[in-house]
């Protein structure tokens, strides 16, 4: 049952956000922008989701057409899937990176989400709720 991880970072539990409370917030970098962002870690989310304001801030355009419809607690949203690298920033050890698949919709009202397909499914990770530590490693 012993596991080895290459990176560790603090996560924030129960964060009040614009779109409601977020249970587990981790820090990640997206694309080639050096800043880190708050992101909801959600193993129940099909895809990573990039809010429109952050999509524009990263230098990407919002989609004019739609290729997929996402159903969420916010309702139905039309958007596209794109690939942008995502990296879990580390407080200790090594960051871990994946070429993640993101759902982008111009009317997504929720937070940035790190979801399962095309992202979390390719990491090993664990949480220590006592210390609010998030451990991760490549798959």
- Our finding on whether 107 is near another protein (CB under 8 A) is no
CA angle, residues 28, 33, 38, in degrees to nearest 5: 30
Supply the minimum distance, in Å, between the C-beta of residue 1 and another protein.
Answer: 22
Is there a contact between 27 and 36 (Cβ–Cβ < 8 Å)? Answer: yes
- Our finding on whether 137 is near another protein (CB under 8 A) is yes
Sign of CA dihedral 27, 82, 139, 129: positive
Is there a contact between 108 and 77 (Cβ–Cβ < 8 Å)? Answer: yes
* Choice between 1 and 21, CB closer to another protein: 21
Is there a contact between 24 and 81 (Cβ–Cβ < 8 Å)? Answer: no
CA distance 67 to 79: 6
Contact residue for another protein among 31, 74, 81, 106 (CB under 8 A): 81
- Our finding on whether 40 is near another protein (CB under 8 A) is no
- Our finding on whether 128 is near another protein (CB under 8 A) is no
* Choice between 2 and 85, CB closer to another protein: 85
Positions touching another protein (CB under 8 A) are 6-7, 9-10, 12, 16-18, 27, 29, 33-38, 46, 53-54, 56-57, 67-69, 71, 81-83, 87, 89-101, 117-119, 121-123, 137-139
């Amino acid at each position: 049952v012993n596991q080895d991880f290459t990176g560790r970072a603090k996560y924030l539990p129960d964060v009040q956000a614009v779109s409601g409370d977020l249970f587990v917030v981790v820090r990640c970098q997206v694309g080639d922008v050096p800043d880190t962002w708050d992101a909801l870690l959600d193993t129940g989310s099909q895809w990573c989701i990039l809010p429109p304001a952050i999509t524009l801030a990263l230098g990407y355009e919002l989609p004019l057409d739609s290729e997929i419809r996402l159903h969420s607690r916010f309702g139905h949203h039309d958007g596209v899937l794109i690939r942008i690298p995502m990296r879990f920033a580390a407080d200790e050890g090594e960051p871990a990176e994946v070429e993640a698949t993101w759902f982008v919709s111009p009317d997504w009202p929720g937070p940035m989400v790190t979801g399962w397909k095309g992202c979390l499914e390719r990491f090993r990770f664990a949480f220590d709720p006592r210390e609010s530590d998030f451990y991760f490693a490549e798959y």
